[in-house]
Amino acid sequence: MLILASTSPYRRQLLERLRLPFQCVGPGTDERPRPAEPPADLAPRLAAAKAAAVAASRPDAWVIGSDQCADLEGRILGKPGGREAAIAQLAAASGRTVDFHTAVCLRRGDRVLAAADLTRVRFRRLDAAEIARYVDAERPYDCAGSFKCEGLGIALFEAIETRDPTALVGLPLIALTGLLREAGHAVP
């Protein structure tokens, strides 16, 4: 049994690519950063916490926890939740580099396997009109950093530097497939 400890449609869609049967279970984890917690530490802590929360009630299952943190020079960019916050995030990112820390944790009972990825997104200089057009077209209100790189958001960037393009969407499949193989799953 494989369980994705998430209610994210983006993570579910990514995991479906592996063609393994799985269930989704919401972990109910508090995702707030701790006081003075560095952005690079947040994603691994939350990925492990999500996996642990679901694994506590399902000791027979392999549970996947994942989390992502957008880091703009030490400032965490969360999910904007609405238009004005999305516009403000993109204006802040304009012409700058945002680091996306994405972590995945695979857990069954006391056995824990984990990996992390760093993706750097270099935004081109964006003017207010193009930010507004993008936000109105794609409504990325549930995405850290206020964009969807798998959609129109790709037009906002100068470059993306990553080992794993799926990490930027929220679940690093290259790392996860390695963890699954290590746990005994046949992938593919």
Enumerate the domain spans of the chain: 2-182
Give the CA distances from residue 72 to residues 6, 66, 132, 169, in Å, rounded to whole numbers and listed in that order.
Answer: 25, 20, 20, 17
pTM score: 0.92
- The pLDDT mean for the chain works out to 95
Q: Which residues contact 47 (CB under 8 A, 6 or more apart)?
A: 65, 66, 67, 103, 104, 105, 114
Task: Out of 3.90.105.10, 3.40.630.10, 3.90.950.10, 3.60.10.10, select the CATH number for domain 2-182.
Answer: 3.90.950.10
73: left (phi over 0), alpha (psi -120 to 50) or beta: left
Positions marked catalytic: 67
Quick check: 63 pLDDT over 90?
A: yes
Q: Note the pLDDT tens digit of each residue in 25-44.
A: 999 999 999 998 998 999 99
* CA-closest candidate to residue 40, choices 70, 81, 9: 70
Average pLDDT over residues 88-114: 97
Query: Per this entry, what is the length of the chain?
Result: 188
Identify the pLDDT of residue 188. 85
Identify the pLDDT of residue 73. 93
Average pLDDT over residues 110-137: 97
